[in-house]
Amino acid sequence: MLEQLKQEVCAANLKLVEYGLVVLTWGNVSAITEDRRYVVIKPSGVDYATMTPEQMVVVDLEGTVAEGELRPSSDLPTHLELYRAFPAVRSVVHTHSRYATAMAQAERSLPCYGTTHADTFYGDVPCTRHLTAEEVAEAYERNTGRVIAETFRDRDPEAVPGVLVCKHGPFTWGASCRKAVENALILEETAHMALLTEQLAPGVAPAPQYLQDKHYFRKHGANAYYGQK
């Protein structure tokens, strides 16, 4: 079942390797079906070098395996919480990419220092609060998703399609596997740029709001004019 979506999810996971966003078996990509009944996700701990579409695991929204011989990613409960919380999201990506993870470990949100960031993320990419000891012990992966949803209670997840989970690493999402992976790459690049910017200019201020607005809305919304129709 869902052979086309399995191919898309497998290809998206392999893009993480191509883009240098994962090492070993770290990271995962999932996608949800149009009817939002099933999720396809990378299997847990499988080597990217031997990964195939047939190995992708199909689960329902309760996490019950509908098809697949391998165990789904251990981060599956986080992905499921994000699909519940963000109805427009069709794909979720998690990596431990170096610079974005450094920001998460430093308990830092990622400021918008320039137009590269503003083209994709409308304002800071937030860092979540710490999970409590009880949240970690009770249902760690599910509560990771819940703390992300909590962080976006007053934010638009479509305008800021990514988050830094405190002491953990980045999650991104999008309307397709391709877009969610692209957002993961952009988040990593902008985190790297931000750290270099702070080294060159300690105390640097974020880009002016009017410049952020210009760059975000020329790519997004009813009056966007970047690219081709």
Domains of the chain as residue ranges with CATH: 3-217 (3.40.225.10)
Q: If pLDDT is split at 50, 70 and 90, which confidence band does 10 have?
A: very high
CB 76 within 8 A of CB 58: no
Chain position carrying tokens 């397709």: 176
pLDDT of 27-40, one tens digit each?
A: 999 999 999 999 99
Residue 180 has a pLDDT of 98
| Single pTM value for the model | 0.94
Residue 188 has a pLDDT of 98
Task: Give me the active site residues, please.
Answer: 119, 226
Residue 227 has a pLDDT of 86
pLDDT at residue 15 greater than cutoff 90: yes
Average pLDDT of span 33-56? 95
Residue 6 has a pLDDT of 97
Q: How far apart are CA 59 and CA 17, in angstroms?
A: 24
CB 218 within 8 A of CB 210: no
Residue 1 has a pLDDT of 79
Q: If pLDDT is split at 50, 70 and 90, which confidence band does 214 have?
A: very high
pLDDT of 162-191, one tens digit each?
A: 999 999 999 999 999 999 999 999 999 999
Q: If pLDDT is split at 50, 70 and 90, which confidence band does 229 have?
A: confident
pLDDT of 109-164, one tens digit each?
A: 999 999 999 999 999 999 999 999 999 999 999 999 999 999 999 999 999 999 99
Q: How far apart are CA 41 and CA 79, in angstroms?
A: 9
Angstrom distances, CA of residue 116 to CA of 10, 35, 186: 28, 34, 8
Taking Cα atoms as reference points, which of 152, 176, 4, 145 lies closest to residue 80?
145
CB 51 within 8 A of CB 114: no
* Higher pLDDT pick, 25 / 173: 173
Beta-carbon contacts of residue 3 (< 8 Å; ≥ 6 apart):
53
Determine which helix (DSSP H) or strand (DSSP E) holds 70, and give its type and residue range: none
Tell me the HSE value of 81 on the side-chain side, using a 13 A CA sphere. Answer: 19
pLDDT of 61-115, one tens digit each?
A: 999 999 999 999 999 999 999 999 999 999 999 999 999 999 999 999 999 999 9
